[in-house]
Structure 1
Amino acid sequence: MRLQREKSLLLMVDFQAGLLPVIDGGTQAIKEASWLGGVAQLLEVPVWLTEQNPEKLGGTAPQLLEQLREPRVWQKVHFSVMEEPEFRDALAATGKTQIVLCGTEAHICVMQTGLGLLEAGYELYWLTEAAASRRQREAQLARERACANGAVAVSADMVAYEWLHRCDTETFKQTHRQFLKPRSARPVAFN
């Protein structure tokens, strides 16, 4: 099933300043999440953030917040934000059925949130390059487990182009310029 921006919400779990220094691939995960967050906002897709125990782990990483215009931030004590009644009720009230999920740590809070979303009947899209853990293998296991239970693994480009749907609009032209900005240094091989 394709993503539709009218049905979508981007949920970023616990990209917190105190946690990111120990996350394998944390810098790249923040880059991908920031970029897709910017696209989401341009397309009027809601962007929600969670923070686990921010008194100890710090708030959301500043480099992510500076890319987003007034995201909704939820503080939580449960590993799965779906265990927080206020969040669960607010999400249901949006009418959104497709949740694009990313964050840290993939094998704890992201996975438990994802499983909770699936149990509640949401379509779950696991943003692979923006879901990270202290150990890469744990992030991989979390994605595999989520997908085995009904999640769909996606990339930021897949999500953005499905939200855009077509190339002959002014919104595409505005967003496409963002696609042209380098998001990561990739070596070019010439043979």
Structure 2
Amino acid sequence: MRILKENTTAVIIDIQERLLPHMNSKELLKNLTILIEGLKALDIPIIVSEQYTKGLGPTVSKIKGMLEDSENIEKISFSCCDEPKLQEKIDNLNKEWIIIAGIESHICVLQTVIDLIDNGYTPVVIEDCISSRKENDKKIAIERMKKEGAIISTYESILFELCRYAGNDTFKTISKLVK
């Protein structure tokens, strides 16, 4: 099944000031930046969640600055789908595929993916744009997400799949981003 940009949205989960520095991936912020810039070039709607901002702080400034037009929706639930405002936003976009990036893989990302599947969506988890404090937690979470029915991809692969054709301005933008 091919993932089509017209039927895709993205959810960026909890890339927050007090959480990001503890992640196992050194490349996470760089990878997320490339993914977000590519999604913007493709006109993919992006939703941003923030987990308990009083304790974990706001979305990191680099990501927040890239997504000035996106509303950051606070949640106290681990799953984005358990926050009514966030679930309503996903439902109102009426897209089949939901690109997932964020932290932590084995908690908020995993629970969101499971709930999206239960709600009839197909999550596309961007493996190089998720992380946990411990590498094994991420590994086990990815295994479970696959078994639950999620698609696992990378930022470069999904961006070119959504672009679909070479020789246009979007392709040129994405090519520059991934080099």
Band the TM-score falls in, shorter-chain normalisation: over 0.9
Residue identity opposite 2:144 in structure 1: R
Q: Which amino acid is the alignment partner of residue 79 of structure 1? A: F
Q: Is the counterpart of residue 28 in structure 1 residue 33 in structure 2?
A: no
Alpha-carbon distance in 2 for matches of 1:149, 1:179:
29
* Cross-structure match for 1:123: 122
Structure 2 equivalent of residue 107 of structure 1? 106
Give the SS at the match of 2:28.
helix
1:68 CA displacement: 3.1
The sequence identity of aligned pairs, in percent, is 26
Larger radius of gyration: 1
Check whether the contact 2:11–2:99 (CA below 8 A) recurs between aligned residues.
Answer: yes
Work out the CA distance in 1 between the residues paired with 2:92 and 2:126. 23
**What's 2:136 paired with?**
137
Shifted more, 157-166 versus 28-37: the winner is 28-37
* Aligned counterpart, 1:50: 49
TM alignment of 1:68-83, pairs within 5 A: 68-83=67-82
The equivalent of 2:96 in structure 1 is: 97
- Matching residue of 2:5: 5
Kept in 1, the 8 Å contact 2:122–2:150? The answer is: yes
Residue 160 of structure 2 contacts residue 174 of structure 2 at CA under 8 Å; is this kept in 1?
Answer: no
* Secondary structure in 2 matching 1:66: helix
TM-score, with structure 2 as normaliser: 0.95
| Structure 1 residues 69 and 162: CA distance shift in structure 2, 3 A | farther
Distance (Å, rounded) in 1 between the aligned partners of 2:103 and 2:170: 30
Output the CA distance in 1 between the equivalents of 2:79 and 2:54. Answer: 18
CA RMSD of aligned residues (A): 1.2
Note the residue ranges of structure 2 that are not aligned, 5 or more in a row.
Answer: none
Q: How far, CA to CA, are the matches of 1:89 and 1:67 in structure 2? A: 23
Contact 2:13 2:102 in 1 (8 A): yes
Structure 1 residue 67 displacement after superposition = 3.1
